[in-house]
Every structure is written in structure tokens, then in C-alpha cells.
Amino acid sequence: MRDWAPDLRARLAELRLNPAREAEIIEELSQHLDDRYDELRAAGSSDADARRLAIEELSEGGGLAQRMQALSQAHTPAPVVHGKPGAGLLRGVWQDLHCAMRTLRRQPGFVATIVLTLSLGIAVNTMVFTIVNGAVLRTLPFEDPERIVRLNVSNVGNAQNPGPDEISYLELQDWQTARRTFEQIAATAERGVDISGDGRAAARVSAAYVSWNTFSLIGQPPALGRDLRETDEQIGAAPVVILGGSLWRARYGADPSIVGKTIRVNGVPSTVVGVMPPDVGFPYRVEFWLPLVALSQPDRTSRSARVLDGVGRLRPGVSIEQATTELSAITTSLAERYPETNRDVAPRVTPFAIAPQFVAVMIALLGAVGFVLLIACANVANMLLARAADRSRDVTLRLALGASRWRIVRQLLVECLLLATASGACGLGLSYVGVQFFAGAALAETPSWMRFTIDGAVFAYLLALCLGSALVCGLVPAWHAARPNLAATLNDAGRANAGSRWRRRWTGAFVVAQVAAALVLLTGAMLMMKNLTSLMRTDIGVETSRLSQMAIILSQNRDSPDRRRLFLGQLEERLAANAKTNAAIASNAPMGGAHARKLLIDGRPAAEPQTLPLVSLIDVGQRYFDVVGASTIAGRALTTDDVRRPDDSVVVNERFAQMHFQDGTVIGKRIRLIELDARTDGSTETRWMTIVGVVSNVRQQWLQSGEFDPVVYRSYIVDPPQTMQVLARSESGPAVVAGLVGDQVRALDPDVPLLAMSTVDETLALWLWPQRLFGSMFTIFASIAMLLATGGLYSVTAYSVSRRTREIGVRVALGADARSVWWAVTGTTLRQLAIGLVLGTAGAAGVATVLPAFLVGSGGGANLVAYAGVVVVLVTVGVGASAVPARRAMRLDPVTALQTE
Amino acid sequence: MAVSVTYVAMPAIDHRMLDRELKKGSAELIILSILEPRARHGYEISKLIEARSNGHLKFHVASLYPLLYRLEERGWLQGRWVEKAGQRRRRFYELTPAGRRVLASQRNTWKSFVEAMGLITGVDHA
């Protein structure tokens, strides 16, 4: 036996085998080399030659060690060879990545189309998630925000108006004894206040009256000066205020010396003790804070004055149910002691979150953009399926030659991931633009603590979108491409066909899904825009484009009802005497809402309080109906005598008369109006009033039914409100009118600030911002969806034509007419369109059922029109998209077609 | 009678890799087939392959034993040492049940491939 070990060991050294295993291999190969040596010697070779030849065979094909490197016994990293099995996972993925980039670089048009398609879907999803994240998901910028709750009450005994309702100041003090489950309880009341006496023009600012411990409760101390103290809330304490950071910069130039100075707030000298950071506007978007003791005496001493929004911080580990139980014990005790104001009142403890209606809209938006992304993925999947068909021979041969199916699938998925990542990068940029647009449009209507920024959560969502899109788009094409049907795939070469049945089925399924999703989205968008249009065109009853409105706020602290009557009476006289102004005063402008009251009609059985009908109440001046343009239908309007001596005269509108006096005998009838939360069996302390006239309808608010609301007009002298609207009709713009009216107001009292004047139409447009904003977003998403679905229909049909060119040529050569060729080409696409419409109808029906509940004044019976319109649009677009390649097919030269590969 | 010849283009395939892939793909089938009747040692396997292929296929040490070890790692072969007096130990290899299943599958695949290649490289009649 020869010693082959040194030669073998030298060649095996780089493998770093286990010594025992190395010894086994050396022994086995040594036996083989012995046999080979004997064979060579038997054939006539010399000893040296036989040995040399045997050793040389160890180096064949790169050598023994190189061929053994892939084995698990070896501990050397194997070189990366394309197609070689057993390479490390990471190295294999890196190789796939390199190969994918090289492949995609050769197809820039294909890549650009896919990236554009996917980036649209990813962009809208990222944008909406950023909004949802900022509005709903992101934790509040307070200390331990999960322990902060809203506190208010429900009126369990009032079915018509169960609440939620605010709490009273005395109720707050009772609740603050709930120390077992609450660390702290505070309350706020948002009001506008007038500031002056600081060397600048008087101004109205949004302010909040707050408990002394409010800022410590939310964990946000002032940036300058000090917080409120318990002593600041005691009766007789020196008045103090805290400025907001934005107000401090804008009005006082960020001068730190403002702290300690005195300014007039609602005419009361008050010391500025602190300045909050600029981004703090608790509880909503406030820029000025006063202690609760600054509220009027009635607000502080009456249990029926429910003017405060409660906020609490739970103790660690305490649940909302436990806190509610403790507060319920207190409210039960209060109900027994103060039945007139606290009977049937139950505490409500809820997380400090945004309004549920806003959450519902956000969820609807997420659903909508999810559909858009699915349509985009279906489009891309179809494109990848087509590309997979073109590469099927390449892939199939690789499979036959030893490549694993998983390796093929992995490489194709890496290509998809690369495309999805590029799309994600583009989508991120687009979504940033969209978020900026939304944030700017919604700025004034969202709390100060709500930020719409792209943070870690948004990036994680974006990555998930990219990964999910790659899988959704690429899994089916990749799996299809890796099918090892050798003979069938190779036999496909050179034959004119539209691809395998399997692929056609998936293509058809994607087209159907796109059409169905587009139909659902378009239906929802059309419903919203229809609602918005109908709201904007709502018949208000009078011409409003030249009707301007401006609010005057008479601070409660400064003006008693008598002083308000005097002021408003003098203002009316000055406005009437000035020939340049055609103005009147009223508590509410048209479409400006109204006070809600329950109605009692003299001579009719008194119903239960909770079942009494509701009406709108407007307090008006002497020239209101002339200025607004409401005409008298029956009886008379309110006269000067009525407004000077308003014993019992009121005017109602046509709608009121139709609802409650169908026999037309409304003039002379007596009615009584009672407060919504008055607990009475029908007899109240309010006076009976006589209806003296009926005027034409002027809409004060939108109702779900779309009808005008029933309105009662009475003289403002009965109960002059703190806020009055000055209404002026003029050919000049609001700015000119504001100047004229402002001169009259300032002549009476220079400290009464004037809010900006605008036309009624402009105010309406502002109120419709949610419908405009979200309606526009839905429309944009639906348009993108339709564009993608249309593009998908076109590309699928065009691809089918290109694959069936020879077949079409054969048909034409055999005598087929243009119509049959057209049908052969478009028949499949049209069938898929029809199936998609049927499936989408089910989804659209769901949307048409659920959506109107969230729309104001949507009415009924209009949904079928919207749906029919959407179907017509989709069918037209779909037929048009498939007709273009069909026309091309009909014009094919049969000879050219037959020669096509 | 019309005749058409179909040309198969494989622009993405490296021919050297094709050569390697061909040998790699067929080598496993060859080894499994040789071992189907009974267990054999490495030298016997290499001589049988050469003899049955009339010398066209040769598996020397550097190409045969890494392949045997790979098939053993996959569980398709089972090796065992056999000792005889006065000689080195020899390692004999035999098919496992998994190896027999793989052999049947690869035989079918190879048969389909050969048929397909015959269709392509032959002449079609329309």
C-alpha cells in the first residue's frame, strides 16, 4: 500500500475538516488511488507515471478541495457561483439582488411603468396613514397620556337630548373629592376674551378658563414665568392670566418683560404670570388662559350652568369603569340633594381622544386608499405575469438543468422587492406633498397637539407596504414562472397563443378585482361630491352673496341684560340713521344655526317633555326681515312697537306653519318655548307668546331631511344675547361694510372688538371644509383608481392582441370579418369588465347604505343615480380602453401577422 | 407539406455554466442508477460508469467523491465501512428509500427533457 495521505492532506487542508472526518476521507480516497495505481500499472505505466497520473486526477475540474467546499463538513466559505446550490442564504440573496438590478436596468420603460403605478398606490396609503397616525394613533403630547380622560355627564332621563353635556363649577368641586381613582380633576371652558390696555389695539383672542391644576395635570409647565396656583382660584384673589406662546410672539414680540405686567382682560386689570410654549393650546387651540374664578358669578354659583369640560388624570392601574363607579356614587348623592338640576345625571368618563365621527372618516379613507393600492398591485401583477411568460423558456431550462424552484422564485421576488422599494421611495415623496396640503387645509380645525408628520411609525408602515406590495404583485407570477412543465413550456415556443390557461385565469381575476374596486371607490366619491354639491347649492331662502355678517360680542362680565338692551338699541338707531348702511341685528345669521327650544302650543294636550317638538329660535332687531329679504306671507312682521314692547308677539316661518298648523290658522295662536334641559311636566315659567305673522323660509341649519327648519322669530329685547350678528346688505364688499358698521359700534364703545366681516356665502364655505376636504380626497383617490383600472384593461387587451397576432392573422386569412375579430379580441376583456361590475355592485351597495349616515342633508333616492353614473363611466372607459388594441388588430395584415413570432 | 424549424434562443444562459449544469444534472442520476441494484464502493462506481458509457463519461477522484458525499448529506445514499483482512477499509454506498424516490423522479424528468430536446432540434411537420 502506498502512502497517499500527504498528497491528500495537502489538498484537503483548506477545508478545515474535522480531524476524524479528514482521516476517514483520506483512508477512502487512498483506497481508490491504490486501485487506480494498480490499474495504471497493469496497463503498462511505470511506478512513477502511475503515481503521477493518479495524483493528477485529484486536481481535475478545479480540484478536490474546490468541489468539496459546498459540503457541510467543510468550514471554508464557498465561492459564489451562479446556479450553484448550497450557497449561503445571504450571499444568495445578494447575488439575486445583483442579478435583478442588471435585469431591470435593461428594461427602463417596463420599470418606469411599474414604479409609477405602484408609487401612486403607496403614496396615497402613506399619506392617509400619516394623517391617521397624527390624529388617532400617536399618543397625546402629555405626560402618561393614557391616564388622561374626558369628564362630562349624560342626561339619562332625556331621550331627545341625552348629551353628553358639560359640568357645572359646583359639580366640579364635588367631583374633585373623588381621590380614590383620580390623581387630579380639572375643568376648562373655552371662551373668547377681549384684551386691551397693553398699548395695542383691543383684540379678541381664543381663551380658556381653567382650573389652577390644569397644566400640572397634563404635565406641561409654562416656558416662562409660573403656573397657576391654588390661591389664584380663590374668591378675591388678584386676577392673573397666562399667555400662549404664539400670542406672546405675535402681539408682544416675545418680550420676556411682559411677565409681571398688567393688561385688561374683558376690562378687568389682570397680571400676566406666565407664558406657555408655542405648541401648547390645551384644551384645543387656545392662546390665553384665565383661572376659573374669573367666570361670571352665575356660572360659578348655579348648578344648572353647565359650562365646563372636565378632564381628569386616573391613578396608575385604575380603569375607566372604576373611575366611573366612584363618580357615580357622587352624582347619586347630588341627585338626592339637588333634584332640580342633578336628577337623572350620570357621569361619563372617556379617553381623551378625537371625535368618533373623525375616526370613522379616517377608517373610510384608509379603506379607500387600500383599494387603490390593491388595484395598483393587480396592474403590476398582470405586467409581471406577461413578463414571466416571455421568460418562461429561460426559467424552465434552468429548472431542467438543476436550478431549484425556490431559487427561481426567490430571484423573481427579489426583483419585485427592488421595484417596490423604488416605488416606496417615490411614494414617500408624493405622500409628503399630500400631507402638507392636508395639514394646511385642516390647520384651523384641528387641536394644537395634533401633528401630521412622517415619523417612525409611518416609515414602518411604508416598509410594510413595500414588502406587502412585492409579495402581492410578485408571488403569483413568480410561482407561475417556476412551474416545471418542461415539454408544455418548450412546445409553446413559436406558437401564437395568449399564454397558459393558468396565467389567463390569474390575469382575468386581477382585471375583475380592479374593476370591482374602482366601482366601489367611484361610487363613494360620487356620493360625497353629490352631497357636497347639494349642500353648497342648498336653497337658503334668501339671496346671500351680497349679505355680509359680523359678530359683536358683549362680554358677560361687563354687560348686564339691561346694558346689552341699551347698547343694541342705540346701535340699531345709529345703523338706521346712517344712509350708507342697510343693516340689522340678529342672534344668528341665515345658516348660522339657532337656539333650540321645545314647543308647546296652547289648546293642545301637553306631551311628555322629552317628546315635545323642537324649533329654532332667533332673536331679531327691527329691520331684520327687510335686510335679510324675507317676505311676509301672512299677518305682519315684527313692528317697532313689538320690538320696543315685546310682550307676546312672535313671527314664524312657513315651515313652522306647515308643520304645526296644517289648517292654516296660525295667526293669533299662542305658543310657549322652553329650554331643552328644563325638567317640567309642561308648565314652565316662560310666557305665552302670540303668533302675529308668517314669513318666507330662511334656512338656519341643515337637516338630514333637506327640509327648511321651523323657526320662531322674537324681539331681542326679551333676552338680549351676549353675541349678536350685524347683518348688512350692500353692493360693496364686506370690507367696506365692515368699516361703516365698525364706525357705528366704536362710536358707542371703543372697547367692543369686532370680528372679521364676511359674506354669508363665505361663512358657509368655511363650515363645509370637512365635506370639501374629505370629498376632494375621495374623488382624487377614486380618479387614481379609475386611471389604474383603465390602464390595466388597456394593457391586458393590448398584450393579448400582441400574443395572438398569428391567430388573428389566421382568422383574417380564413375569411373572418372585422366584427368577429373585434369580438374575439375584446370578448374576454368585456366579460371580465361585466363580472367586475357585478361584484363591484355588491360593494357599492354597501357603501351607498353606510355612507349617507355620515353625510349631512344627504336625503334619499339619489344614490341610484350616482351608482348608474359610475357604471356608465366605467363601461365607457373600459370599452374604449379595449377598443383601441382591437382596432389595431382589425387592421393587421394577415401575411405580416402569420410571419410574426 | 410545410416544414418549420424552431430556433430556441437562450440569451441569458452562459454556455460554460450550461456545460457544468448538464453534467451536474445528469451526474446525480447516473450515480443513483449505478447504485440501484446493489451497494458499491467508489472505485467500482467510477469504473462501471466508464464501461457502460463506452468511455464517454469518466468520473475521477476529484469529481466522484464530492458527489458521493453530497448525496450522502442529502440522505439519498447511505455509506458504510467494510473491512477485509490485509486491506484498507472500503466504504460502500447504497440507495436509501429517499434516494430510490429521487431516482424515479429524476428518471421521468430526464426522459421528458430528452423528448423535448428531440422535438426542438428535430423537424416539425405542419
Q: Is residue A548 part of a domain?
A: no
Could you give the CA distance from residue A26 to residue A5 in angstroms, rounded to a whole number? 6
What is the pTM assigned to this prediction?
Answer: 0.64
A320 touches A172 (CB < 8 A)? no
Cell 380622560 sits on residue: A149
Instruction: Give the per-residue pLDDT at A359.
Output: 74
- The verdict on A715 and A814 lying in the same domain is no
Q: Count up the domains in chain A and report the number.
A: 5
Q: Which residues of A touch B4 (CB under 8 A)?
A: 494
- The verdict on A705 and A617 lying in the same domain is yes
Q: Is residue A544 part of a domain?
A: no
Q: Do B17 and A71 touch (CB under 8 A)?
A: no
The reply to whether omega before A164 is within 30° of 0 (cis) is yes
Q: Do B63 and A401 touch (CB under 8 A)?
A: no
Q: Is residue A206 part of a domain?
A: yes
- The verdict on A711 and A773 lying in the same domain is no
- The verdict on A114 and A154 lying in the same domain is no
Instruction: Give the per-residue pLDDT at A501.
Output: 73
Q: Do A28 and B65 touch (CB under 8 A)?
A: yes
Q: How many CB pairs under 8 A join A and B?
A: 108
Residue where a domain stops, chosen among A718, A751, A784: A751
Q: Which residues of B touch A61 (CB under 8 A)?
A: 62-63
Task: Provide the sign of the torsion angle of the four alpha carbons A726, A731, A735, A739, taken in this order.
Answer: negative
Q: Do A67 and B73 touch (CB under 8 A)?
A: no
Check pLDDT > 60 for residue A901. Answer: no
Instruction: Give the per-residue pLDDT at A228.
Output: 96
- The verdict on A229 and A322 lying in the same domain is yes
Check pLDDT > 50 for residue A796. Answer: yes
- The verdict on A516 and A449 lying in the same domain is no
More confident residue, A260 or A107: A260
Instruction: Give the per-residue pLDDT at A596.
Output: 83
Longest dimension (CA), chain A: 143
Distance between A63 CA and the closest CA of chain B, angstroms = 6
Could you give the CA distance from residue A99 to residue A114 in angstroms, rounded to a whole number? 18
Q: Which residues of A touch B120 (CB under 8 A)?
A: 490, 493
Residue B41's Cα: distance from chain center in Å?
16
Instruction: Give the per-residue pLDDT at A121.
Output: 92
Q: Which is it for strands A345-351 and A240-243: parallel, antiparallel or unpaired? A: unpaired
Closest of A818, A797, A808, A790 to residue A885, by C-alpha: A797
Distances (CA, A) of A623 to A576, A585, A619, A620: 8, 8, 12, 8
- Per-residue pLDDT of A41-94, as tens digits, reads 999 999 999 999 988 888 776 677 777 876 766 554 444 444 445 446 677 788
A846: containing domain: 500-538+762-901
- Per-residue pLDDT of A652-682, as tens digits, reads 999 999 999 988 789 999 998 887 655 544 4
| Triad A824, A825, A827: Cα angle to 5° | 65
Instruction: Give the per-residue pLDDT at A760.
Output: 78
- The verdict on A895 and A794 lying in the same domain is yes
Could you give the CA distance from residue A213 to residue A193 in angstroms, rounded to a whole number? 21
Q: Do B66 and A402 touch (CB under 8 A)?
A: no
Report which secondary-structure segment, H or E, holds A19.
helix A19-42
ipTM: 0.81
Instruction: Give the per-residue pLDDT at A496.
Output: 40
Could you give the CA distance from residue A253 to residue A248 in angstroms, rounded to a whole number? 6
Q: Which residue of A has its CA nearest to B66?
A: A68
Could you give the CA distance from residue A453 to residue A719 in angstroms, rounded to a whole number? 47
Tally the residues of chain A: 901
Q: What residues does A246 pair with on adjacent strands? A: none
Could you give the CA distance from residue A741 to residue A774 in angstroms, rounded to a whole number? 36
Q: Is residue A545 part of a domain?
A: no
- The verdict on A689 and A623 lying in the same domain is yes
Could you give the CA distance from residue A573 to residue A187 in angstroms, rounded to a whole number? 41
Check pLDDT > 80 for residue A645. Answer: no
Q: Where are the alpha helices (DSSP H) in chain B?
A: 15-35, 42-52, 61-74, 97-121
User: A827 CB contacts (<8 Å, ≥6 apart)?
Assistant: none
Average pLDDT over residues A690-696: 93
User: A113 CB contacts (<8 Å, ≥6 apart)?
Assistant: A383
Q: Is residue A546 part of a domain?
A: no
Instruction: Give the per-residue pLDDT at A794.
Output: 79
Instruction: Give the per-residue pLDDT at B5.
Output: 33
More confident residue, A869 or A555: A869
Q: Is residue A543 part of a domain?
A: no
Q: Do B116 and A83 touch (CB under 8 A)?
A: no
- The verdict on A340 and A272 lying in the same domain is yes
3-state secondary structure of A411: helix
- Per-residue pLDDT of A560-589, as tens digits, reads 778 888 888 888 888 888 777 788 999 888
User: Out of B6, B12, B21, whose CB is closest to A394?
Assistant: B12
Q: Do A64 and B42 touch (CB under 8 A)?
A: no
Residue B114 sits at the chain A interface (C-beta within 8 Å) = no
User: Out of A61, A62, A493, whose CB is closest to B8?
Assistant: A493
Distances (CA, A) of A40 to A309, A366, B40: 103, 78, 21
- The verdict on A569 and A527 lying in the same domain is no
Q: Is residue A506 part of a domain?
A: yes
Residue A73 sits at the chain B interface (C-beta within 8 Å) = yes
Instruction: Give the per-residue pLDDT at B1.
Output: 34
Report which secondary-structure segment, H or E, holds A382.
helix A356-390
Q: Which residues of B touch A71 (CB under 8 A)?
A: 66, 69-70, 73
> A82-91, A144-153, A239-248, A513-522: which has the highest mean pLDDT?
A239-248
Residue where a domain stops, chosen among A699, A732, A751: A751
User: Out of B6, B10, B116, whose CB is closest to A494?
Assistant: B6
Query: What's the grid cell of residue A55?
Result: 495524483
- The verdict on A520 and A580 lying in the same domain is no
A495 touches A803 (CB < 8 A)? no
Q: What residues does A150 pair with on adjacent strands? A: A311, A350
Q: Which is it for strands A649-653 and A595-601: parallel, antiparallel or unpaired? A: unpaired
| A169-173, A797-801, B15-19: the lowest-pLDDT one | B15-19
Could you give the CA distance from residue A65 to residue A103 in angstroms, rounded to a whole number? 33
- The verdict on A401 and A389 lying in the same domain is yes
**How many other C-beta atoms can be found within 10 angstroms of the C-beta atom of residue A93?**
16
Mean per-residue pLDDT of chain A? 81
Report which secondary-structure segment, H or E, holds A50.
helix A47-56
Q: Is residue A369 part of a domain?
A: yes
